[in-house]
Copies of this chain bind each other. A is one copy, B any other.
Amino acid sequence: MIIVKIGGSKGIDDAPLLDDISQLIKSGKEVLLVHGGSEETNQVAEALGHPPKFVTSVSGFESRFTDRKTLEIFTMVYCGRRNKSLVEGLQQRGINAVGLSGADGRVFEGPIKTSVKVIEDGKKKMLRGDNTGKVTKVNTELLDVLRSAGYMPVLCPPAISEEESKMMNVDGDRAAAMLAAAYGAEALVILSNVPGLLKNIDDGVDNPDNLVAEIELSSCADPYEFAKGRMKKKIMGAVEAVDSGVERVVLASANVDKPISSALNGGGTHIYRAAASAAASNAG
């Protein structure tokens, strides 16, 4: 099983990804797709007069403050606009896709946090009215029911809270990591608008020496060494996935021909536990 996460940042073209997925599936590979939609959520939120608010937690991670109105806009873009566009693109390529949010059939479930401790202007502050959470449970049973009937699930946040059954914003990369862990996937490929983890984000993406080609977690003192902003969560998801049995995580660009195949063949930043398992995975 290969889990692919396609981001929702500016300038991502879905066509190469959809071409690649449909070819991989037709050649017998098992692929599940998770997607984001952050950039368009920002745009729609602005247009609807409810601009996005990003906060930095005391532990240094940036996230979207998700009040109920923001959550509603979030579902519009993630579950509506983006999910159905990907489903349509796959249907046009002969793949019988079915789009599901984490709330549908409780695909992504976990605890909700309704307040978040943030740092604003250097001060610690508690913000209430948040609807964010963490995926701790993946309903692979529903996904397998669909897969065995010939359908390909296309998944996205929001998730659903385990006690109150409230929709909640969850990080898409980490949801994809939990999905990959649930399947013990051979790979989790996280595609975005950058070619992988960069040593110096100001140095641009065209210098190949600027790309971290691999992080071998067993010998790496600090996997977060080069991670800034959003990239911190991607690395966190990658570490969680590898620690939960996923053979390798690849951070790579969505905007190349055959982005998944290219990532699996060595492109982007490869994250894995130890060199031996990586070699085995390459050979496989």
Residues of A within 8 A of B (CB): 44, 47-49, 72, 75-81, 83-85, 87-88, 91-92, 96-101, 103-106, 141-142, 145-146, 149, 151, 158, 160, 164-167
Residues of B with C-beta under 8 A to A85: 72, 75
Interface pair A80/B91, CB less than 8 Å apart: no
Bound-complex Cα distance A101 to B81 (A): 12
Most buried by B among A49, A76, A92, A99: A76
A47 to chain B: closest residue by CB: B48
Residues of B with C-beta under 8 A to A145: 145-146, 149
Residue from the list B91, B92, B103 in contact with A88, Cβ < 8 A = B103
Bound-complex Cα distance A149 to B103 (A): 17
Interface pair A81/B76, CB less than 8 Å apart: yes
A48 to chain B: closest residue by CB: B47
Bound-complex Cα distance A2 to B29 (A): 39
Residue from the list B49, B80, B88 in contact with A77, Cβ < 8 A = B80
Bound-complex Cα distance A167 to B77 (A): 16
Residues of B with C-beta under 8 A to A106: 91, 96
- Evaluate whether A88 and B48 lie within 8 angstroms (CB atoms) in the complex, with A80-B80, A96-B105, A149-B142 already known: no
- Evaluate whether A103 and B87 lie within 8 angstroms (CB atoms) in the complex, with A44-B48, A142-B98 already known: yes
Interface pair A98/B88, CB less than 8 Å apart: no
Most buried by B among A84, A98, A166: A84
Most buried by B among A88, A142, A146: A88
Q: Within the complex, what minimum Cβ distance (angstroms) separates A74 from chain B? A: 8
Bound-complex Cα distance A235 to B229 (A): 55
Bound-complex Cα distance A75 to B84 (A): 7
Residues of B with C-beta under 8 A to A165: 88, 91-92
A93 to chain B: closest residue by CB: B165
Residues of B with C-beta under 8 A to A98: 100, 104-105, 142
A-B contact pairs, 28 of them (CB 8 A): A44-B48, A44-B76, A47-B49, A72-B81, A75-B80, A75-B84, A76-B76, A76-B80, A78-B80, A79-B83, A79-B84, A79-B99, A80-B80, A80-B81, A80-B83, A84-B101, A84-B158, A84-B167, A87-B101, A87-B104, A88-B167, A91-B160, A91-B165, A96-B106, A97-B104, A98-B100, A99-B100, A99-B103
